[in-house]
Amino acid sequence: MPPHKSDPLLPLVLRATRDLTSAKNELRWLRDFVAEPQRNTGNILDNWAARRKLRQLCVERAKGKPLQYIMGTEYFGDLEIACKPGVLIPRQETAASVTHLMERLQKSKLLPEHVKLLDLCTGTGCIPLLASYELVQKYSRKGRLEAVGVDISSRALSLAERNLRRLSQDGTIQIEPPSSSLSFIRADILAEADHNPSDCVSLMTALQLYEETQKSNDPTADRKGGWNILISNPPYISPSAFNRTTTRSVKRYEPKLALVPKDADASQYPGIDPGDIFYPRLLEIARQVDARVVLFEVADLEQAGRVAAMAQQQNIWTVIEVWRDNPSQADDYGGSEQTSVATGIKVLGRGNGRSVFAYRGGAKA
């Protein structure tokens, strides 16, 4: 008898996972999810309404709906991040890059007393939330931490604020002004000027308004200097790659706005791969805000090479590296780093190409 015959709901989940072990795990998680609200009332899976609810969730999963949207959360590093349709689901590979960056910066001893971190295309807010958690709780860093997440999507910003409130209320993260702060603001990152301010202002205008608000809240504060750290997980999938290689579940359920640059935006950057158009702007923003460290997520090693080459052309970075999915792990050859033949840039870690890191300053980060 096939192993899934033991549970009539297992074939539904198996349609989405295509793997029996994964299907069994997901079904167990869904059972726990349904049971959690009423655990004190006994085994609610004997209850008809609960069984109906579980079957409904399994049907949704069978159609390809991501488990994170069904259950409403996903772990990102040590943080449980709320998820909802219309906002990109956080990925573990992104978390690995963020935690590696925070560890590396902490060990380098190069962080100033007042650290300012800017996250562009923030989505759920997972990146500045995790970065704040790593520096404040994990490393017990002294000094001030000021983080800002930016997105064009009002839905994403609402969810980011919700994540901040929830994680602060349950004590998972400790954001206590003035020693630490985390804000979320709306802006159009690609816009260099305010063409239609009533819709969405440019990033530079949004940052100016943010600085004015901070100054009015504390007139004695020193607001000089730029943003030390700039992180972004921008839309980086070209329209053709989206159609050819993106999974059905991602196409159907996750927001295309967070995955694929719009055609109208691509027209501003002739001669550049359609999936790369955010990166020249991000690098220009890094120059404008005087960022000392940047970390940009990419799709693969090929795109990483192109983005690293763009950074090289700026002639302002002391170090440029490509990080794989797990940048802190040894590569398949037993070492921790390789060199890209195409660019001469170090490639660190194990897995697929995931991020481009750059640092500028007198010492090595």
Q: What value does the mean pLDDT of the chain take?
A: 89
Number of domains in the chain: 2
151 and 291 both lie in a single domain: yes
Q: Which domain holds residue 34?
A: 3-63
Number of Cβ within 10 Å of residue 335's Cβ equals 9
35 with 45: CB under 8 angstroms? yes
Confidence check: pLDDT of 223 > 80: no
Q: How far apart are CA 290 and CA 270, in angstroms?
A: 26
Which of 252, 251, 253, 279 lies closest to 265, judged by CA?
279
- The domain that holds 122 is classified in CATH as 3.40.50.150
Alpha helices in 219-344 (DSSP H): 239-245, 248-253, 263-266, 278-288, 301-314
User: Does 77 map to a domain?
Assistant: no
**pLDDT tens-digit series, residues 255-281:** 999 999 987 666 677 788 999 999 999
Confidence check: pLDDT of 335 > 70: no
Against a cut of 0.85, is the pTM above it? yes
59 and 158 both lie in a single domain: no
- Give mean pLDDT, residues 217-232: 82
User: Does 74 map to a domain?
Assistant: no
Confidence check: pLDDT of 86 > 60: yes
